[in-house]
């Protein structure tokens, strides 16, 4: 049985603020995330995290708009599929389709907000809870393994590593979500221009609205770039405290 003191310690561990990270850590983790996003093999592996956030965005908005979530599938080629039941048109379906490509940077923005308050451990535990909640709706083996591995890594870092390692891991992950939300939009338009994604989210939105698919691709890109800028400002707060600036 868990003691009161144990619960108090856990509460303090989750909700207490960690020390400010070194400004150099913020810079290096941002560069590391940018390197992953811009190179082929690292991106191919890490893109699974973007897919998890993408499909999670579809699923969450489907539930919030009253649609019935049927399941989520994650595939080894980093693609995914979220199935929901409800009206095939209307605001609920439009918002559900819109949510996928903008979800990763928005999740990153929420993470940047938590990091701005130095709630690093809380951020990692929230990530674990969200992954477990999503696991309930996964309908294929690769998806289950992908979420368990991702959640296990995050949990291990939050429980067994030092505050410095937690900070480096959390900042890298948040930078990656912010930066990694931009590349899939570019890839989407490249594939569409070659006729290889006729049923993309953008094309489905075009079928439900008066606007062409390219308009929705542009919306995805604009939202993700704006969110990236805001998230970068939040993450750069330690740099603005004067530590890296010349003193007088």
pLDDT-derived band of residue 12, with 50, 70 and 90 as boundaries? low
Q: Inform me whether the pLDDT recorded for 9 exceeds 70.
A: no
Question: Rounded to whole angstroms, what are the CA distances from 18 to 21, 109, 226?
Answer: 8, 19, 28
Q: Residue 244: its pLDDT value, please?
A: 47
Q: Which of 210, 193, 213 is nearest to 201 (CA)?
A: 213
Return the exposure string of 147-184: e unless at least 16 CB atoms fall within 10 Å of the residue's CB, then b.
beebbeebbebbeeeeeeebbbbbbbbbbbbbbbbbbb
Query: 199 or 103: which carries more pLDDT confidence?
Result: 103
H/E element, 69: strand 68-74
Q: What is the pLDDT of residue 246?
A: 41
Tens digit of each residue's pLDDT (9 = 90 or more) over 42-90? 999 999 999 999 999 999 999 999 999 999 999 999 999 999 999 999 9
* Of 123, 47, 105, nearest in space to 79 by CA: 47
| 22, pLDDT greater than 70 | yes
pLDDT at 196: 84
Percent of the chain predicted with pLDDT > 90: 79
**What does the pLDDT average to over 17-22?**
80
């Amino acid at each position: 049985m868990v003691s009161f003191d144990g619960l108090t310690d856990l509460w303090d561990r989750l909700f207490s603020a960690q020390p400010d990270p070194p400004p150099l850590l913020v810079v290096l983790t941002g560069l590391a995330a940018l390197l992953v996003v811009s190179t082929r093999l690292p991106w191919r592996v890490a893109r699974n995290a973007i897919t998890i956030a993408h499909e999670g965005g579809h699923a969450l908005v489907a539930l919030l708009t009253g649609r019935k979530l049927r399941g989520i599938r994650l595939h080894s080629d980093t693609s995914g599929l979220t199935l929901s039941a409800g009206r095939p048109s209307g605001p609920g379906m439009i918002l559900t389709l819109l949510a996928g490509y903008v979800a990763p940077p928005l999740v990153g923005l929420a993470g940047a907000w938590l990091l701005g308050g130095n709630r690093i451990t809380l951020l990692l535990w929230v990530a674990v809870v969200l992954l477990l909640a999503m696991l309930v709706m996964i309908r294929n083996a690769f998806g289950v393994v992908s979420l368990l591995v991702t959640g296990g890594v995050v949990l291990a870092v939050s429980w067994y590593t030092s505050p410095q390692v937690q900070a480096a891991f959390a900042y890298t992950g948040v930078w990656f979500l912010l930066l990694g939300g931009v590349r899939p939009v570019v890839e989407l338009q490249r594939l569409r221009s070659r006729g290889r994604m006729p049923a993309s989210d953008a094309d489905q939105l075009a079928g439900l609205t008066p606007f062409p698919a390219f308009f929705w691709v542009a919306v995805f890109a604009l939202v993700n770039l704006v969110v990236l800028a805001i998230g970068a400002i939040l993450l750069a707060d330690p740099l603005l405290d004067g530590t890296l600036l010349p003193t007088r």
